[in-house]
Amino acid sequence: MTNRMTNRTRSRNGTRAGRTAEAQRLLDLLNALGSTTFRQLLWQKASELDLTYAQSQVLFHVAEHPDCHMGEVAKAFGVTLPAVTHIVDRLEQKHLLTRADHPTDRRVYVLDLTRHGKALVEELQEIRLSAMEDVLACMTEADRRRVISGLETLVEAATQVSRGDS
């Protein structure tokens, strides 16, 4: 029975060598995507403001999750609370983010964007959106659908693995 399960798993998921080659190819493609023009445009704007990648990602997270706790941010990015504290300190110094006491738990800080932080996130998001629209315009509708479907499947599988559901 174990041998049949192994054969079924192997036929469904391919050989280990094949999966390793696919994993490497996917990593290469994601890295190539990460260094394309639209990302360069986004981070050119961020660098003008002396904003690191990690800082910008925290800004995007807080924009999507207003009044989130610092611990939630640390968990979302898989980093330590001291690492988030360092990033939040810098964002506060730049007047992009505020840290306030939690109303019922003095051990917890709640994060929110300042008006300037919200405006910056909107500007960076517009740059990302416009650049992605330009990329998608170079693709057929069928290719766009396949890419979106494939990425949805990839994210779903990654979520399952991170939860230990695999």
Domain ranges for the chain, please list them. 1-35, 36-163
Q: Structure pTM?
A: 0.73
> With respect to CATH, is domain 36-163 assigned 3.50.50.60?
no
Asked if 74 and 112 touch (Cβ cutoff 8 Å), the reply is no
Averaged pLDDT for residues 86-94: 96
Averaged pLDDT for residues 17-44: 78
The model's confidence at residue 48, banded by pLDDT at 50, 70 and 90, is confident
* Angle in degrees, CA 108, 113, 114, rounded to 5: 120
Asked if 87 and 55 touch (Cβ cutoff 8 Å), the reply is yes
The answer to whether the Cα torsion of 46, 73, 23, 135 is positive or negative is negative
Averaged pLDDT for residues 61-81: 93
Percent of the chain with pLDDT over 70: 86
Cβ burial 126-142 (10 Å sphere, 16+ → b, else e): ebeeebeeeeeeeeeee
Distance of CA 37 to the CA centre of its chain: 18
Structure tokens at 12: 């469904």
Structure tokens at 149: 């479907």
